[in-house]
Amino acid sequence: MKFKLKIWRQENAQAKGKFVTYELDNVSDDCSFLEMLDQLNETLVDKFDKPVCFDHDCREGICGMCSLYINGRPHGNDSGITTCQLHMRRFKDGDTLVVEPWRAKAFPVIKDLVVDRTAFDKIIQEGGYVSVNTGGIPDANAIPIKKVDSDLAMDAAQCIGCGACVAACKNASAMLFVSAKVSHLALLPQGSLEAKERVDNMVSKMDELGFGYCSNTGACEAECPKEIKISNIARLNREFFVSKLG
């Protein structure tokens, strides 16, 4: 397969970026999008040109590092997948692929397609955890939990913090991410003791870091690789209102 790649190149957060066009052929339809970028970088290095910088780690759809905006969609033209799970057979031979980094005030560009997502880490540090006694392992049946609650908690806990929700939202809102982190703890008894402080602190930090408000368009749910539901945002709002009532 042959592709024309229009890739965003930017030296750092202060530099002015631009799209640079590359031609790449002999691409296997079985390779992933990141493997295609690897192939491009090999050709660039062979020509003594600078390779394209992009984030990656596990390449198994778990870490959330491989966050690219491809042809106007976070993670590309498929649903329920990360960029590393996107295969080139999803495109047509000869297609033009436009590849950009996440676009959000809270995610400044580090270089090329790499953005700084430590804003998510700062939100987690404000309350995305439970304080527990790490002594002996408790019996599995010591704290009964309704199956419906445990299922909802596990669904929310699937969030990998990739930032696709922020990239998809016209307001660059982090509500889906924050709501997933709040929900999976709020639904379980282990998270109840710190519930008020958790939601107050995480929402305040989210606002402080420059994320926008929820746009209510549902784009975040549509583009989330783990298909986190926007019903979690409703739960986040309820938790926040309850915390303010004392």
pLDDT in tens, 90-126: 999 999 999 999 999 999 999 999 999 999 999 999 9
Q: In this structure, which topology does domain 3-110 adopt according to CATH?
A: Ubiquitin-like (UB roll) (3.10.20)
Measure Cα distances from 118 to 29, 162, 183 in Å.
Answer: 34, 11, 21
The DSSP code for 146 is -
Mean per-residue pLDDT over the chain, rounded: 94
Distance CA 165, CA 89 (A): 25
- Note the pLDDT tens digit of each residue in 190-220: 898 899 999 999 999 999 999 999 999 999 9
DSSP helix/strand/coil, 101? coil
- What are the extents of the domains in the chain? 3-110, 118-245
pLDDT at 246 (0 to 100)? 67
Mean pLDDT along residues 216-238: 96
| pTM of the predicted model over 0.85 | yes
Q: In this structure, which topology does domain 118-245 adopt according to CATH?
A: Fumarate Reductase Iron-sulfur Protein; Chain B, domain 2 (1.10.1060)
